[in-house]
């Protein structure tokens, strides 16, 4: 077996909403990733991006050097998205759209959060075409947090043990994809990188 160094995986918390439950989810996902030897995660919060009202996209990427450099160094990405009217918050798209070629042939795992019973399955499906166009390769093992208001206590402790096993599957798949794509980027010719 090849010895693998850990994969670099930024975690994007996608909503700036006051009182956001996705904050608990993103911090729990970050903690679980930190516990693994095969992942080096880093949390990014859309609240920390001072997005201008008069510009958009790749032309302003150098205003966000931490995000730019983290994605250049990344092997994959985790997006934690709440479901807002069956879609994702525009803040996620605005942050993702800052970069383009930096994402190509890297893995992305999607985490859906909702007040309703479907755990963000609809928002995840709506995010797939957008991340695909960025060149990201989506894993098929999502993490879903339905009825998220019941899932955490006030300190952000997760009250449902069944998520441990699901998180293992989510991370195992993401790491496999991230490693495989890293090997491909490093060893195979491509006009894209």
Ligand X SMILES: Cc1cc2nc3c(=O)[nH]c(=O)nc-3n(C[C@H](O)[C@H](O)[C@H](O)COP(=O)(O)O)c2cc1C
- Footprint on this chain of ligand X (rule: CB under 6 A): 15, 17, 20-22, 82-86, 113-116, 148
Tell the smallest beta-carbon distance from residue 48 to ligand X (Å).
Answer: 16
Considering the complex, state which of residue 24 and residue 179 has its C-beta at the smaller distance from ligand X.
24
Cα–Cα–Cα angle for 88, 90, 43, rounded to 5 degrees:
80
Rounded distance between C-alpha atoms, residue 72 and residue 10, angstroms: 11
| Residue 95 DSSP code | H
Considering the complex, state which of residue 57 and residue 149 has its C-beta at the smaller distance from ligand X.
149
Tell the smallest beta-carbon distance from residue 100 to ligand X (Å).
Answer: 27
Considering the complex, state which of residue 100 and residue 115 has its C-beta at the smaller distance from ligand X.
115
Rounded distance between C-alpha atoms, residue 147 and residue 25, angstroms: 12
Considering the complex, state which of residue 69 and residue 150 has its C-beta at the smaller distance from ligand X.
150
Tell the smallest beta-carbon distance from residue 120 to ligand X (Å).
Answer: 7
| Residues sharing a CB contact under 8 Å with residue 29, sequence separation 6 or more, in sequence order | 11, 78, 80, 111, 143, 167
Closest CA relative to residue 24, chosen from 154, 174, 161? 154
Tell the smallest beta-carbon distance from residue 43 to ligand X (Å).
Answer: 15
């Amino acid at each position: 077996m090849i010895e693998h160094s850990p994969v670099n995986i930024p975690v994007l918390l996608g909503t700036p909403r006051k009182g956001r439950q996705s904050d608990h989810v993103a911090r729990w996902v970050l903690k679980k990733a930190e516990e693994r030897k095969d992942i080096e995660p880093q949390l990014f919060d859309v609240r920390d991006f001072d997005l201008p009202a008069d510009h958009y996209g790749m032309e302003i990427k150098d205003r966000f050097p931490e995000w730019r450099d983290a994605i250049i160094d990344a092997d994959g990405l985790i997006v934690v998205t709440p479901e807002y009217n069956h879609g994702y918050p525009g803040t996620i798209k605005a942050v993702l759209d800052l970069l383009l070629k930096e994402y190509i042939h890297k893995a992305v795992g999607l985490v859906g959060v909702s007040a309703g019973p479907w755990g963000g399955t609809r928002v995840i499906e709506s995010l797939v075409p957008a991340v695909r166009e960025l060149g990201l390769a989506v894993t098929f093992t999502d993490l879903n947090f339905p009825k998220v208001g019941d899932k955490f206590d006030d300190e952000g402790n997760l009250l449902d043990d069944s998520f441990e096993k699901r998180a293992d599957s989510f991370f195992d798949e993401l790491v496999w994809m991230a490693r495989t794509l890293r090997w491909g980027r490093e060893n195979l010719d491509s006009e894209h990188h």
